[in-house]
Structure 1
């Protein structure tokens, strides 16, 4: 039984619960932007200009220019033609899925695909190994009717901290229209110097690439984004689904436009923290970790209760539904100090040895 902690402040390096302090190694604030005082001050200044929310359609006859400015910067940074921001990562995925379904596109999901890119709330994804599933794709496509197809996958196995290879894209057939949708919520801001999965995706003339992502994790912004070619992004913007949605609060995008130094600092600090964490935690043999990715997954679920007793709180709860098994993992962030990671490692050593 996993304890539920309820607190009344934003988690940082530590949290307080019922009079006791715990080192905090959970969450998804990989770059520590949410807890960064300088970034918070930028947001305060931006709220003074844009208020707390813009509760109107972005397709209306009054528009705020910061949206296009921030989207252009995101697209240039990642290396795509265009970007479109929305109110959450879930909304980004569902915007794309809704658009594909309206065109009667046949959708195929990869193992563990995030619910943001599901075509129905109760669907299941393949239980096979991702590499095996990808190897079988070309033959599977031959069994489908002619017409457009969409393949929807995650960019990384974020829970178990495993990288996916994408060379299988090169083996997809050349004679049919394919849309590849990749949810990069856990990679954007962290992998490939922050640019996420896009630079790694093979490019084929008949394959349209769309990357969706939450901005609420490494990027520290309460919204989501779709990245891709200009024609697809314009088509998405023209949908009723997009037009009827309230957007991400503009103050956050204004802060993003001025926050380059904080993103750079966050990635540098995360890199240094990961170097230390990998050095100290890998020899225990307890963890699966994709090198350079800030998640250390373990099958030893009792490590959670052991660390909790020692004053360290790690991620351990059933996901994505309450009926799934608990996933225990340690998350390293830019806001951690070397001493925190040293204490974590020393405590884990007492568990192991």
Structure 2
């Protein structure tokens, strides 16, 4: 898809463009919260109580209780010792990584998101598979002097779609200060027990500090981000930092809705899981997609699928990423807004494409 479309409405299940209606299978709103009427009602309650914005520092002499309430909710949900909310996932990543700048040498997994980069060019290897990188890193750590290190990775690959296996972190050396920093922006709200993401799935030696950063704006539909940690002192340090004091917080009305929306999220996850199972089973034999269990993104290296589906009034994701000079990434993205009939329609169109290409 070389052309860029502009619209005056946020797509949900459908996108209307130039007089035509397209089934929308793109974006990162996996749970469809932006168009969920039950969540909208909770948000309306929050707006009535807190207004449309809160531009003050959270370190001022007047503090809204909803922030501590939301952070306590996040710790109960994920099993983290402490949590801190901020105004974006990118800020969460940058705040955490800058706080760790002197915590040891940085070891980056392939494909680590720029939100977790300490420098503009951290030297990521694009040639290594994640599992190979993890094996090499363990060997390197166990063979080297006990110097501190910060290990940085995404929780999964949302572009070419791969769940990462973190069982190797159980074998990290315990004779040195180590921090495991993971960006869980695409998993949080969808993967893990009750959508709690990667944090409760990690098993590391007691000596390893865990820090998970995430956008809340994807599955959870909240314009903000979060830092989770096994180390309460690390979160306290972030709270006292100039980055935190000088940044605007999440709009409190959204957190009001968030802490009251557990049934909304549960129902949306159930619908999304059913959609993913249905589509996965329908296209499994085509050998067209790279997919991961229970994840609503389906990557194909065949970019022609985008134009074919567009002609069938289905719009999928297909653009160069992360820069305009990079390769195009083509993916079908399902959401909780899709019905079983929608999924069947997309699957049928994909099978027609496979027949066309045969």
TM-score normalised to structure 2 length: 0.95
- Matched position secondary structure for 1:287: coil
Mean alpha-carbon deviation: is it higher for 245-254 or for 195-204? 195-204
- Matched position secondary structure for 2:52: coil
Unaligned 5+ residue runs, structure 2?
A: none
1:349 aligns with 2:351: yes
Question: What does the per-residue CA deviation read over 1:115-160, in whole Å, with 9 as the maximum and x for residues that have no partner?
Answer: 1101123434112111111101133336767542100100011111
Aligned to 2:84: 84
For the Cα contact (< 8 Å) 2:297–2:334, is it kept in 1? yes
Question: What does the per-residue CA deviation read over 1:46-103, in whole Å, with 9 as the maximum and x for residues that have no partner?
Answer: 11111111111111111000000011001101111111000010000000011011x3
For the Cα contact (< 8 Å) 2:24–2:314, is it kept in 1? yes
1:54 aligns with 2:54: yes
Mean alpha-carbon deviation: is it higher for 104-113 or for 221-230? 104-113
Aligned to 1:110: 109
Aligned to 1:64: 64
Partners in 1 of 2:227 and 2:308 — Cα distance? 40
Partners in 1 of 2:25 and 2:81 — Cα distance? 36
Partners in 2 of 1:264 and 1:143 — Cα distance? 45
Unaligned 5+ residue runs, structure 1?
A: none
TM-score normalised to structure 1 length: 0.96
Aligned to 1:210: 211
- Alignment map for 1:1-353 (pairs within 5 Å): 2-101=2-101, 103=102, 105-127=104-126, 128-141=128-141, 147-192=147-192, 193-229=194-230, 230-353=232-355
For the Cα contact (< 8 Å) 2:88–2:215, is it kept in 1? yes
Question: What does the per-residue CA deviation read over 1:291-315, in whole Å, with 9 as the maximum and x for residues that have no partner?
Answer: 1111111111110111111111001
In 2 relative to 1, CA 7–81 (structure 1 residues): closer, same or farther, beyond 3 Å? same
Partners in 1 of 2:352 and 2:272 — Cα distance? 25
How far off is 1:108 after superposition? Answer: 1.3
RMSD of the alignment, in Å? 1.4
Question: What does the per-residue CA deviation read over 1:246-283, in whole Å, with 9 as the maximum and x for residues that have no partner?
Answer: 11111100011111221111011111111211111222
